[in-house]
Structure 1
Amino acid sequence: MEKNKSPLHFVLVHTAFHGAWSWYKIVALMTSSGHNVTTLDLGGSGINPKQALEITHFADYVSPLMEFMASLPANNKIILVGHAFGGFAISKAMETFPEKISVAVFLGGLMPGPNIDPTTIYTKAASAVIGKLDNCVTYENGPTNPPTTIIVGPKYLATNIYHLSPIEDLALATTLVRPIYLFPAEDISKEMVLSSKMYGSVRRVVIVAPENNALAKEFLKLMIEKNPPDEVKEIEGSDHDV
């Protein structure tokens, strides 16, 4: 990769269960090419000191990103990248700080929008991991209430997330993944109000991973059809961990 004469500022937002650590390879490539790169740990993720049970609202989860966006100078435009569930986080930032984002990149991810209900997307995504293989949920509010947290297990990571990735990346993930709070649908509905005026003013690019076992192709197609981005790119032979 050639050195860029006008370095860009990329802000990379990880998916559920992961942290800033998941970007370590791409960060090395981008910085060696002269770009500025910021990686963030969302609430209860990576090395963020809070635990999942302290992150009971979606606003708590995305607060590190929102605080970072608020700290950017008004004339500082970034390229905002969200991996999978990170698409929800960057969508919230797009609605709140559209003037600070030159383009938003949805990497193999969830893309809510004004014309597709974020709660529906969230519910479908949650149902795709709950009860699968060795994924574990907790019931802090009692067994008769909905589960409160979930964490993906090694078997699920190996077959649905990292099945085409180097075994070293799988080993790293099995060591570092953390549980995430299962936010109530009404909380998502309250926090994820996206408008054409704000969210819709930001240019969007979707990057598709054809061998993504964690996201049904029909689901991805629906999100693109209901909320058409400016561009769709594909990385051949890539799994969920693009």
Structure 2
Amino acid sequence: MADNGCNKHLVLVHGACIGGWSYFKVAARLRSAGYRVTAPDMAASGVDPRPMRDVPTFRDYTAPLLGLLGSLPPGEKVVLVGHSLGGVNVALAAELFPDKIAAAVFLCAFMPDHTSRPSHVLEKFIEGDWLDWMDTEMKPQDAEGKLPTSMMFGPQITREKLLQLCSPEDLTLVRSLMRVSSMFVEDLQVQQPFSKGGYGSVRKVYIVCKQDLAIPEGFQRWMIESNPVEEVNEIDADHCVMLSRPDELARCLADIADSYA
């Protein structure tokens, strides 16, 4: 990867139960090539101090990303990358700040359309039994059911479905830093679809991870067929591609930034 980033800005959004730290290998490679990289923690994730019970809605969860985009100087655009559940964060951000986003990149991520409710892709994923949840813990957070169901990946699913191509060191790191999260399905079910003029107007790129056992390639392809994108890239990687294939992912993201930003 040549040193030609020209200060192009990539914002990398993590998935459930992990944090911005998950991009450490990719961020280092992109920065050394001259790109600006920000990898924010969503609320109650990474080093954000809040507990999940203090984050009742998906918009609350996404607030750190929305604050970042809202603070960008006029005219600045970013390449916004979402991994896994982070694709829904990217969609919400694109809905609210379409003029701030040069391209929205979905990295083996849930990609909503702009005709169905934002929960639709998550519901289809769950209903279709695309994932054996193994030792994942799903729990109500409150007796009244006002808070979204919490989720925590167990050691078995992390090892066998999320990081099966990663090193033992990476697996140890991920297990030690994982936090309780949520898919926020209950909250996303009561939201209106994203708009054609907001999220629908933003250019989209999908990166398919071909050995993903968490969001399998078949489901990734279904989302692309349901909501066509400008470009599809492929990496021969597991779900945690940023850890298992950081060189390929950094090159891919640099190419996308060079094309769209």
TM-score (norm 1): 0.91
What are the superposed Cα offsets for residues 141-197 of structure 1, whole Å, 9 maximum, x if unpaired? 349999731100111100010001122111110001111135253x21344631111
Q: Which residue of 2 aligns with 1:83?
A: 83
Hey, what's the Cα distance between the residues in 1 that align with 2:180 and 2:168?
22
Deviation by residue 1:12-50 (Cα, 9 ceiling, x = unmatched): 000011101100000110010011000100011000011
Structure 1 letter corresponding to 2:221: K
Q: Structure 2 vs 1, CA of residues 53 and 231 (structure 1 numbering), >3 Å: closer, same or farther?
A: same
Separation (CA, whole Å) in 2 of partners of 1:76 and 1:62: 20
Alignment of 1:202 with 2:202, yes or no, is yes
Q: Could you tell me whether the CA contact under 8 Å between 1:116 and 1:226 is conserved in 2?
A: no
Describe the shift of the 1:7–1:137 C-alpha distance in structure 2 as closer, same or farther (beyond 3 A). Answer: same
The one-letter code matched in structure 2 to 1:195 is S
Q: What is the aligned-residue identity percentage?
A: 36
* Helix, strand or coil at the partner of 1:207: strand
| Aligned counterpart, 1:168 | 169
Counterpart of 1:240 in structure 2 is 239
Q: Mean Cα displacement is larger for which, 24-33 or 217-226?
A: 217-226
| Residue 100 of structure 2 corresponds to residue 100 of structure 1 | yes
Deviations 1:98-146 (A, max 9, x none): 1111111100111001144422212244566998222112233349999
Kept in 1, the 8 Å contact 2:77–2:102? The answer is: yes
* Structure-1 separation of matches of 2:130 and 2:153: 8
Determine the structure 2 residue equivalent to 1:65: 65
The total of aligned residue pairs comes to: 240
> Equivalent residue of 2:22, what SS?
helix
| Closer, same or farther: CA 5–144 of 1 in aligned 2, 3 Å | closer
| Partner in structure 2 of residue 32 of structure 1 | 32
**For residues 92-241 of structure 1, what are the structure 2 equivalents within 5 Å?**
92-125=92-125, 132-142=133-143, 148-185=149-186, 187-191=187-191, 193-236=193-236, 238-241=237-240
Structure 1 gap ranges (5+): none
Unaligned regions of 5+ residues in structure 2, if any? 242-261
Distance 1:220 1:129 in 2: 11
Query: Structure 1 169/143 Cα, relative in aligned 2: closer, same or farther at 3 Å?
Result: farther
Give 2:22's aligned amino acid: S
**2:155 alignment partner AA:** P
151 and 81 in structure 1: CA distance in 2 versus 1, 3 angstrom threshold: same
Deviation at 1:219, TM superposition (A): 2.1
Alpha-carbon RMSD across the aligned residues, in angstroms, is 2.3
Residue in structure 2 matched with residue 11 of structure 1 by the alignment: 11
Please say which of residues 137-146 and 82-91 is displaced more in the overlay. 137-146
- 8 Å contact 1:115–1:227 — kept in the other structure? no
Equivalent residue letter for 2:151 = I
CA apart distance, 1:73:
1.1
Shift of the 184–239 alpha-carbon distance from structure 1 to 2, 3 Å rule, reads: closer
The amino acid of 1:67's aligned partner reads G
Q: After alignment, is 21-30 or 109-118 more displaced?
A: 109-118
The one-letter amino acid paired with 2:161 is N
Deviation of the 1:55 alpha carbon: 1.1
Shift of 1:233: 0.3
Specify the code of the residue in structure 1 equivalent to 2:45.
S
User: Alpha-carbon deviations, 1:66-99, whole Å to 9, x = none?
Assistant: 1111111121111100001100001001111111
Do 2:203 and 2:229's aligned partners in 1 also have CA atoms closer than 8 Å?
yes
Task: Report the residue type matching 1:241 in the other structure.
Answer: C
Aligned position for 2:249? none
